[in-house]
């Protein structure tokens, strides 16, 4: 059994390095008409033990070198890096350092409502059914103590459109998330909704850690780069994809630009470079506008003769002219 194993190892070690079949190999020792051949397809059928000594002696020069064993190429790790930007398809927010995916949050199986439309779906002080939303933490207020002696805090959440909603965190929701930094993206599940006294706004509240989940860090979170009139830097949260200034300072900058540019004075910067091209359609026009213009152009020009000009100058007070025409 050991000899057969040695012969097998010998054949496997040769691989493709033997270019020709050595002379007097075992395959040439059989006669074509030998009964060891199958009569149907001519394939040799070996019976009994085969002597490999002749073959081993013929290829002895080829087995001195030990074949190199090539390791298989390691599998590439295609896992998503934490620094990759992920676009959350339900909220539209761009997130990096992803902590949990939307598949794990099961947004597809829940009624997802964007923060800017929650107010339109309120029925009293609640939203019917199970629902979820997501927003960016834009501001953190100092922690407070409730009447029962428990701590809570108030956050400002938004979608980087310069509109924010107050979020109250109580219980486990507060203790597990109170140290998070501004710019973090959170998902909320079945948060309690309360209308403001004015009725125009609303606030959200979460009481347990199961109602809030950290998703990652916002890529577009930023602070306005402009300064206020008193010289203090503006602290308005902006979307960096739309520029480095908030809407207020963008408007002021455009107005200042339109006033300082002499060629734009008296006009509107938004219409200064408007193309005169008009698409096809129906327009309101004044049918008499062209006639009025033509009438003014067709009026005869009044000319004065030399005598008439002298007469007009005599009637003019002397303070309006310093020279007299010769009579």
Tens-digit pLDDT profile for residues 133-157: 999 999 999 999 999 999 999 999 9
In the chain, % helix, strand, coil (3-state, to 5) comes to 30, 20, 50
Looking at residue 78, its pLDDT comes to 43
Domain positions in the chain: 2-39+50-60, 86-219, 223-264
Cα separation of 123 and 172, whole Å?
A: 27
Looking at residue 123, its pLDDT comes to 79
DSSP 3-state assignment of 222?
Answer: strand
Structure-model confidence comparison of residues 106 and 253, the more confident one:
106
Strand-pair partners of 101? none
pLDDT tens figures, 62-104? 555 555 655 555 444 444 555 689 999 899 999 999 998 878 8
Tell me the pTM.
Answer: 0.54
Least confident range of 31-40, 145-154, 162-171, 175-184: 31-40
Q: 86-219 has which fold? A: OB fold (Dihydrolipoamide Acetyltransferase, E2P) (2.40.50)
Cα separation of 4 and 12, whole Å?
A: 12
CA distances 245 to 137, 225, 268, Å, are 19, 6, 21
pLDDT tens figures, 24-52? 555 444 444 445 545 555 555 555 666 66
| Confidence band for 283, pLDDT divided at 50, 70 and 90 | very low
Structure tokens at 148: 């029962």
Looking at residue 76, its pLDDT comes to 45
Consecutive H or E run containing 7: helix 2-14
Looking at residue 2, its pLDDT comes to 60
Looking at residue 46, its pLDDT comes to 56
In a 10 Å sphere around its CB, with 0-12 CB exposed, 13-18 middle and 19+ buried, how is residue 93 labelled? buried
| Confidence band for 294, pLDDT divided at 50, 70 and 90 | low
Compute, in degrees rounded to 10, the torsion defined by CA atoms 62, 64, 65, 67: 70
For tokens 């030399």, the residue is 306
CB atoms within 10 A of CB 179: 7
Structure tokens at 95: 């997130």
> CA nearest 95: which of 156, 174, 160?
160
**Cβ(234)–Cβ(226) below 8 Å:** yes
Taking residues 286-311, what's their average pLDDT?
Answer: 64
Confidence check: pLDDT of 118 > 80: yes
Cα separation of 312 and 137, whole Å?
A: 81
Average model confidence (pLDDT) for the chain? 75
Looking at residue 120, its pLDDT comes to 86
């Amino acid at each position: 059994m050991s000899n057969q194993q040695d012969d097998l190892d010998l054949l496997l070690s040769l691989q493709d390095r033997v270019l020709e079949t050595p002379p007097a190999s075992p395959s040439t020792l059989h006669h074509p008409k030998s009964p060891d051949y199958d009569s149907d397809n001519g394939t040799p059928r070996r019976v009994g033990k085969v002597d490999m000594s002749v073959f081993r002696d013929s290829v002895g020069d080829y087995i001195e070198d030990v074949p190199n064993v090539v390791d298989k190429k390691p599998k590439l790790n295609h896992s998503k890096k934490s620094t990759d930007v992920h676009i959350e398809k339900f909220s539209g927010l761009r997130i990096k350092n992803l902590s949990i995916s939307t598949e794990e949050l099961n947004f597809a199986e829940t009624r997802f409502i964007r923060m800017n439309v929650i107010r339109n779906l309120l029925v009293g002080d609640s939203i019917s059914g199970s629902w979820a939303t997501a927003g960016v933490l834009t501001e953190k207020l100092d922690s407070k103590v409730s009447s029962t002696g428990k701590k809570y805090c108030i956050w400002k959440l938004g979608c980087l459109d310069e509109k924010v909603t107050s979020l109250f965190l109580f219980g486990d929701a507060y203790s597990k998330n109170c140290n998070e930094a501004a710019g973090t993206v959170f998902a909320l599940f079945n948060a309690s909704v309360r209308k403001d006294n004015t009725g125009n706004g609303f606030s959200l509240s979460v009481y347990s850690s199961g109602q809030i989940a950290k998703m990652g860090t916002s890529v577009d979170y930023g602070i306005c780069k402009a300064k206020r009139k008193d010289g203090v830097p503006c602290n308005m949260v902006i979307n960096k994809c739309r520029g480095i200034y908030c809407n207020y300072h963008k408007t002021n900058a455009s107005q200042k630009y339109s006033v300082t540019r002499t060629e734009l004075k008296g006009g509107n910067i938004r219409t200064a470079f408007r193309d005169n091209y008009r698409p096809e359609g129906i327009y309101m026009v004044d049918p008499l506008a062209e006639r009025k213009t033509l009438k003014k152009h067709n009026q005869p020009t009044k000319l004065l003769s030399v005598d008439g000009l002298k007469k007009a100058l005599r009637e003019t007070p002397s303070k309006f002219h310093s020279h007299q025409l010769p009579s």
